A and B are shown apart, each in its own frame.
Chain A
Amino acid sequence: MRGLRAFARDNGLSLVFGLLFIVVLVFQAIAGHNEYNDEQRQHNSEQISLSRYVTSARFSVAVLENWQSEYLQFTLFILLTVWFLQRGSPESKEMGKAGGESDEEQKVGEHAEPESPLWARVGGLRTALYSNSLVIVMGLIWVGCWFAQSVAGWTDYNAERLGHHLDSLSYVKYLTTAGFWERSLQNWQSELLAVGSMAIFAVYLRQRGSPESKPVGAPHHATGVEG
């Protein structure tokens, strides 16, 4: 019991987000299923079960189009904050620190500490890879989600076309449709706005106790300070 409590305490943030994700996904499935069946009724078509809906291309594309944009957001955020700074923002490094920084600052190779991860200590290709592992994994997830969105979206798009007595499109042709790009761009623009505004809002606004904010009393010009 004590072990479980310690586990929950050590992973509180990830666990709460994971649980919220599952709850929200279930509600998305229920709402999406109702919306789909409403559409079916309007077209005098047969309704489908919830289990059929959650294994449909329609539900898959609805989930994955949002996943991909979130991972694009974080990939860009991780990558762009290496080189671009924002004076006064806790999301930014200190002014003048743009770039990959020195091995000493990053504690790699001979500057590694006894508790540094093995791949940070060994040098060479492994350290180079590990130095970029977060952006590599987030970027791969983004590409994977975007590809999955495109495959599920293609089938959903063709189902609609066939239902309207139109020819279906090849996968490659689907990638050139306004439908595919509208699904992608509508998500990207919102992510970019949210990140950009967060970076600048955090210069002047505070949330006591949050590491995403500066300490309440920190001056507006203080950069790279977390509360």
Chain B
Amino acid sequence: MPRTRPVFAFYLVLIVGGIVAAIVIGLLRARDDPGARRAVTRFSAAVRQHDGAAACAELSAGTIKSLEDQQGGSCDKAVLQLGLSGGRVVKSDVAERSAKVDVQQDGSVFVDQTRKGWLITAFGCKPVKARPYDCEVQE
């Protein structure tokens, strides 16, 4: 009989390990990531200091293109024409590689994690009931 015990133990460890791993991964991937906050903090600070180039460095390529198409000029000029105040980050919400960061006065900012770090994919976003946020600029 003891010859079957290692297999019994193997299955139990495998199952319990799988359950624990899934719970830990689920919780860790929902954990606040300071990188998302930092990207938005840098963006806001650049806007406040009228440094368009620094602000654009925090935007994804798609967002830069949308902004330039929308405003009809280069990103570093266009980003300063939107009337953003460059407020303080008040809250962030992360799940996996996506996050929403709320900024005082400027609404919400959506950011995605990429190989280059966290990049802004939409900003100046206002909530709309039961619909996606309405964003001033988005990818």
Contact = CB atoms under 8 A, between A and B. Distances in A.
Interface stretch (A4-12, A119-127, A128-136): A4-12
A156 B29 CA distance: 9
25 contacts: A6-B3, A7-B6, A11-B7, A18-B11, A45-B112, A46-B114, A55-B25, A57-B30, A63-B22, A141-B19, A145-B19, A147-B19, A149-B22, A152-B23, A152-B25, A154-B26, A155-B26, A159-B95, A159-B97, A161-B95, A165-B132, A165-B138, A166-B132, A167-B93, A167-B127
Chain A, interface SS category: helix
A15 B7 contact: yes
B22 A61 contact: yes
Size bracket, chain B contacts: 35 or more
Pairs of residues from A and B, 6 with the lowest C-beta to C-beta distance, nearest first? A159-B96, A158-B95, A151-B26, A152-B26, A162-B98, A148-B22
Interface in B4-47: 4, 6-7, 10-11, 14-16, 18-23, 25-27, 29-30
B119 to A, nearest CB: 10
Contacts, number: 120
B22 A151 contact: yes
Interface residues of A, number: 42
B28 to A, nearest CB: 9
Contact of B25 (A14, A60, A167): A60
Contacts of B11: 14, 18
Given A67-B18, A141-B15, A165-B135, A151 B96 contact: no
Interface string A7-38: 10011001100100000000000000000000
Contacts of B19: 64, 67, 141, 144-145, 147-148
Interface of A: 6-7, 10-11, 14-15, 18, 44-46, 48, 55-58, 60-61, 63-64, 67, 141, 144-145, 147-149, 151-156, 158-159, 161-168
A42 B101 CA distance: 25
B4 A11 contact: yes
B56 interface: no
Contacts of B27: 151, 155
B132 A164 contact: yes
B138 to A, nearest CB: 7
